[in-house]
Amino acid sequence: MQNFPKSSFSDRLPIRRGALGAGEGPTGAGLSSTSAAQVADDSTPPVVFSKKARPQRHEGPINVRSLIFPGLDQIDFTGPFEVFSRIPEAQVFVVAKTLEPIVDVKGLILTPTELIAQAPLFDVLHVAGGLGQQTIMDDPEIIGLIQRHAEAGKLIFSVCTGALLCGAAGILKGRLATTHWAAHNLVKFYGATPIYARVVVDGGYVSTAGVTAGLDGALLVASLLRGDSIAEEIQLDIEYAPVPLFHSGTPQEASQECITMFFRNYGDNKVARENEAHKFARRLGVTNVESH
């Protein structure tokens, strides 16, 4: 059997005192949720760890299931797929309610390889997001898949608004979590503490910010499971070295005109997601949020 390196990116992250507060950092014991939740500027940390035990290193084969559904944002799925498919001894299965082709929110056609009803327990469940997430928040088969996986103590990795699906499954209560910036204020309605970070690791649950942050989160998962050198080799393989030509990737960087245009295109989704979040807060018994 191949011997995997023992070092981990999470063990050598720099302390970012300006963003995290004096003496706080992702290394060691972790970050207090209070100081993390207050971070919302250009010093936002790339990764925040809670004080819970991190996922255990895997020395053997790894099975990853990526959950897809109509109306997902395909990069939430395909970005991490690029990473997970390159982890040594890893198999990635694409799971859905049916084996019919699935159309993403912008029209890309994806093909599932496995039915939810036939999917066994596996090492990593990857939950994508996208506008289609709103239509399946009460789907018992999809919610049940997430709940079974959590109950078995397996690693769950959500990208973007996949965090809201995990919230609907009740697994965000008492956790730190992040999601797409436009839905970031909603995770508290599912019982989570919202954290401004690219990736958040809370025990066996890893969440990322919007869309492209899934690449960062998947590389971090690869590091947690196999060590830094594997994650670094994958990063080189896919030449993931972003140097953006434009600087409007976060609301802190974007102009007000750009943000206004985003919400114009976002349409009714903002209100729909807010109403849904209030519904789930009542269902989950989350009371420490403002009334609608």
Active site residues: 160
**Judging by DSSP bridges, how do beta strands 109-110 and 102-103 pair with one another?**
antiparallel
Nearest 5°: phi and psi at 146? -65, -40
Q: Quote the tokens at residue 237.
A: 């393989």
Give the residue from 75, 85, 11 showing the smallest Cα distance to 234: 85
SS3 content of the chain, % helix, strand, coil (to 5): 40, 15, 45
How far is it, in rounded angstroms, from Cα 235 to Cα 16?
A: 23
Please check whether residue 209 is in contact with residue 179, taking contact to mean a CB–CB distance below 8 angstroms. Answer: yes
Handedness of CA 130, 148, 116, 97 (dihedral sign): negative
Alpha helices in the chain (DSSP H): 17-20, 33-37, 74-84, 140-151, 162-168, 213-226, 228-237, 256-266, 269-284
- The tally of CA atoms less than 13 A away on the side-chain side of residue 277 is 24
Centroid of chain to Cα 7: 23
User: Is residue 192 helix, strand or coil?
Assistant: coil
Cα–Cα distance measured from residue 219 to residue 52, given in angstroms and rounded to the nearest whole number: 20
Amino acid at position 19, single letter:
A
Q: What SS3 class is residue 64?
A: strand
CB-based burial label for 225 (10 Å; 0-12, 13-18, 19+) = buried
